[in-house]
């Protein structure tokens, strides 16, 4: 495992959607997801120790959400509120003070970004956050959208690519290019 990021109090580590349904054995499993957990735990501990904010987002759909295939959406049923699949991975070591953000909770709309409809940008500014460090699932869906929104909201953004995994590994090069173009720093 490589050396952790250097965190400062003005940083927020944002762990995106590290939930059972996106891990091996889950309803919408991303290859390599479970293997990310120890490295992400090390980042969480480094961030916490440095006084940086730790934020964990979760995909948190109502039953019969518009994104589910039986409703004409693109995805199998996943991350239904209060089901085991929607829980954070059991080995993810979230400190008690972790800021938890639920997204995509409306029946009729999907939200890939942790900033979409959550008020997260204003909250981070209130807490003095200037830089957002992003990792988690899925690199080509919610991590991508979250990193782009963080830039749009005026934060410095750094992606921890090795601590993210994609639904479609063939998309990773395009995702990286898009993020770099938007001014996201990418740590391999």
> Under the rule (CB under 6 A), what is the footprint of ligand VGL?
17, 28, 59, 75, 137-138, 141-142
User: Do 129 and 106 contact (CB within 8 A), yes or no?
Assistant: no
Q: Does residue 140 belong to the site contacting Zn ion (CB under 5 A)?
A: no
* Per-residue mark of binding to Zn ion, 7-46 (x: CB under 5 A): ----------------------------------------
Is omega for the bond preceding 16 within 30 degrees of 0, making it cis?
A: no
- Distance between CA atoms of 174 and 69, rounded to whole angstroms? 26
State in angstroms the smallest separation of the CB of 28 from Zn ion. 7
State in angstroms the smallest separation of the CB of 10 from ligand VGL. 26
Pick between residue 12 and residue 80 the one whose CB is nearest to ligand VGL.
Answer: 80
- Distance between CA atoms of 19 and 78, rounded to whole angstroms? 10
- Distance between CA atoms of 37 and 188, rounded to whole angstroms? 17
Pick between residue 58 and residue 131 the one whose CB is nearest to ligand VGL.
Answer: 58
State in angstroms the smallest separation of the CB of 147 from ligand VGL. 12
Token couple for 129: 């956050």
């Amino acid at each position: 495992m490589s050396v952790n990021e250097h965190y400062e109090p003005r940083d927020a580590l944002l762990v995106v959607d590290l939930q059972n349904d996106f891990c091996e054995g889950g309803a919408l499993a991303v290859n390599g997801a479970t293997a990310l957990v120890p490295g992400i735990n090390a980042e969480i501990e480094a961030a916490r120790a440095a006084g940086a904010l730790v934020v964990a987002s979760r995909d948190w759909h109502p039953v019969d959400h518009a994104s589910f295939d039986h409703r004409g959406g693109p995805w199998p049923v996943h991350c239904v509120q209060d089901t085991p699949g929607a829980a954070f991975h059991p080995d993810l070591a979230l400190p008690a003070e972790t800021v938890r953000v639920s997204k995509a909770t409306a029946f009729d709309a999907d939200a890939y970004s942790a900033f979409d409809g959550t008020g997260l940008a204003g909250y981070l500014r209130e807490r003095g956050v200037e830089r957002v460090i992003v990792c988690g699932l899925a690199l080509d869906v919610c991590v991508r959208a979250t990193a782009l929104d963080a830039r749009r909201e005026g934060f410095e953004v750094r992606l921890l690519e090795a601590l993210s995994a994609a639904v479609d590994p063939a998309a990773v090069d395009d995702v990286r290019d898009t993020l770099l173009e938007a001014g996201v720093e990418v740590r391999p």
